[in-house]
Chain A
Amino acid sequence: MGTWRIAWRNVFRNPRRTGIVVTAVAVGVAGAVLTMATNYGMIFQMVENAIARDLGHVQVHAPGYADDPGIEHRLPDGGRAIAREIEADSRVRACAPRLRGEALVFSPRASSGASLVGVDPAREREVTRVADSLVEGEYLGAGRRFVLLGVPMAHRLSVGVGDKVVISVQDAAGDLTGEAFRVAGVYDTASRDFDGTTIFLPLATAQALYGVDGDVSELTIVARDRGEVEALRDALAARVGDAALVRSWDQTQPLLRYMVEMFDQMGWIVYAAVFVAMAFGIANVMLMAVHERIREIGILMAIGMPPRRLVGIITVESLVLTTLGLVLGLGLALWGVAALHDGIDLSRWAAGLSDFGVGARIVPVLRPDDLTVPAVAAAVTALLASLWPATRAARLRPAEAVRHT
């Protein structure tokens, strides 16, 4: 009948109270973990959407592009030599060249500023999902004078598939130039900002429009393994040396990285709030348990139980209570995540979510930390929550405790 057995039996002396505490802990843990999983699912979707929409895992630019992302910073040799280096790495799944520039786009009824992205249609399909995001019309094909617009841009210009738009740019020589295009298709990537500003057109057309003669602004790379992105980035950077700037998605879009970091910080706040509240609840229950058992504790002291063993029993009781709640809570959270594998329908807030590049359906995503952090936090909570009642028990005077009624 060691400390664990006595503590275990003590926990079940008052099944109703134990049930209430365990349920409270379980609901707290499940709520916190599900909240974290849902939030992370949203952040995960936002990052993955950005990667799939535009960023890829790694991007290669000409030196100076990061400070001044304009048409004048282009990869030498059209990026072909660098592309060969990149494609020699077995960790690279696909690599696509792009030319980026600013433009004004006109329709018969409206005009708008826009970011032009010249793409190799076939290779672009391998690095982004724009081709899969079409809601109207067709993807870019062999035709040179076709463009893809996002839904907000199409609405703003009041154009649809087959309509004509005129794109005006300042070319590499500084001269204003422009051409007319037909809308081949309209896409929706769930990012209102991206879709409202970005126009895709064939790479060769863009190169001709900007007068850059086969040059490109960037190479976008997708890795075979998401976990190897940083290693791939470093390896590619080492290969290309000073000839180009190699950055991973979180470096090209630091805002995304900040949002992920901010989410992690908020996660700690959520967990802290839940577990601090939990600690007070458990401490309260343990204090009640100690108060109800003062006489019994006096007897234990009288027969020679050392104070540290008494502290051990109270601590283990607290640990058992918390662990039961934790296991139940994690079970509930796992069940909840499994039940929501099709995602949570947030279509009522779709417009707002699209501002963050997030779709209307959020699938909760559990990370290993979402299981280990509550487990560690629960253990710490149990220990902290038991300190007060355990110290109180150990400080009882035996003569007074055995007379307690």
Chain B
Amino acid sequence: MPILEARDVTKTYQTRGVETPALRGVSLAIEAGEFSALAGPSGSGKTTLLNLFGALDVPTSGEVFLEGQPLGALSGSQLAALRLEKLGFVFQAYNLIPVLTARENVEFVMELQGVKPAERHARAESLLAEVGLGELGGKRPLEMSGGQQQRVAVARAIASGPRIVLADEPTANLDSKTAGQLLDLMHAMNREHGVTFLFSTHDARVIAKASRVVRLVDGRVAADERR
């Protein structure tokens, strides 16, 4: 069973009465262990599809399934619980809660899950060490570089033990070297820990590293390349 599946999904935005189709009938399944990328030009529907997979938005028609469960039937609270337990997110920037330290940001999702303080503290320390920020746990986001913040976001995304991490242009705001390091980190997590990643990106480095590249054009799947 795929972790995520979209069946004939459409999404149309309405702005002041003007309809803008973002997805025009997308069917796609993401399997466990993939390191996949949704690629395509701006406006192709990458982020929209990622949001639908992430239960952050609802399709205009069609259905999205997470491990076989249709998301359309769930309430807001149930979707929040599902995001907490099964999904991890890394966004383009400003991922972290500014009033929390790096360690607290990582711990926060575990606190929401009800993990005991000692256990979540130890796991947060371990994850920060794994992303190379063991010394910066007490720093707040504004005291860290963009690359360091993204590493913390990755640590937070996998802290809850999700079935899949959805990353929306995670390297877009980083310089080339930092972007490469972040990508290597996520790739290593995929290889070594089996964490499934799905990116929305037009970064050639991400696309080059991806085990599967789904190209979207004008809201449709134009190509689905497995490597």
Contacts and interface: CB of A to CB of B under 8 A. Distances in A.
A390 to B, nearest CB: 15
Nearest to B51: A399
Contacts of A306: 77, 80-81, 112
Nearest to A303: B109
B112 A304 contact: yes
Given A399-B56, A402-B91, A1 B81 contact: no
A398 B107 contact: no
Given A304-B109, A307-B76, A402-B56, A299 B94 contact: yes
Contact of B111 (A1, A13, A296): A1
B89 interface: yes
Contacts of B82: 304
A302 B89 CA distance: 7
B200 interface: no
Contact of B95 (A299, A304, A309): A299
Would you call the interface of chain B mostly helix, strand, loop, or mixed? Answer: helix
B186 to A, nearest CB: 17
A277 interface: no
B57 interface: yes
A9 B80 CA distance: 24
B97 interface: yes
A302 B96 CA distance: 12
Contacts of A302: 54, 56, 83, 89, 91
Would you call the interface of chain A mostly helix, strand, loop, or mixed? Answer: helix
A166 interface: no
Interface residues of A, number: 24
Nearest to A302: B89
A1 B107 contact: yes
A15 to B, nearest CB: 13
B125 interface: no
Contacts of A2: 111
Nearest to B166: A302
Interface in A358-405: 397-399, 402-403
A307 to B, nearest CB: 6
A169 interface: no
Contacts of A300: 97
Nearest to A394: B76
Nearest to A405: B94
Given A6-B100, A402-B56, A304 B94 contact: no
A299 B99 contact: no
B112 A305 contact: yes
A9 B109 contact: no
Contacts of B76: 307
Nearest to B96: A299
Contacts of A309: 112
A300 B96 CA distance: 9
Contact of B97 (A296, A301, A398): A296
Given A6-B99, A296-B97, A397-B57, A303 B108 contact: yes
A303 B81 CA distance: 9
B98 A296 contact: yes
Given A399-B56, A402-B56, A304 B97 contact: no
Contacts of B95: 299
A35 to B, nearest CB: 37
Contact of A10 (B89, B99, B160): B99
Interface in B152-177: 156, 160
B85 to A, nearest CB: 7
A303 B83 contact: yes
Interface string A330-372: 0000000000000000000000000000000000000000000
Interface string B97-115: 1111000100111011000
Contacts of B100: 1, 6, 9
**Which of A295, A299, A301 has the most B CB atoms < 10 Å from its CB?**
A299
Contacts of B47: 403
Contacts of B112: 303-306, 309
Nearest to A403: B47
B185 interface: no
Interface string B67-94: 0000000001100111111010101001
A299 B89 CA distance: 9
B120 to A, nearest CB: 10
13 contacts: A1-B108, A6-B99, A299-B91, A299-B94, A302-B54, A304-B80, A304-B82, A304-B112, A304-B160, A305-B112, A307-B77, A307-B80, A308-B77
Interface of B: 47, 51, 54, 56-57, 76-77, 80-85, 87, 89, 91, 94-100, 104, 107-109, 111-112, 156, 160
Interface of A: 1-2, 6, 9-10, 13, 295-296, 299-309, 397-399, 402-403
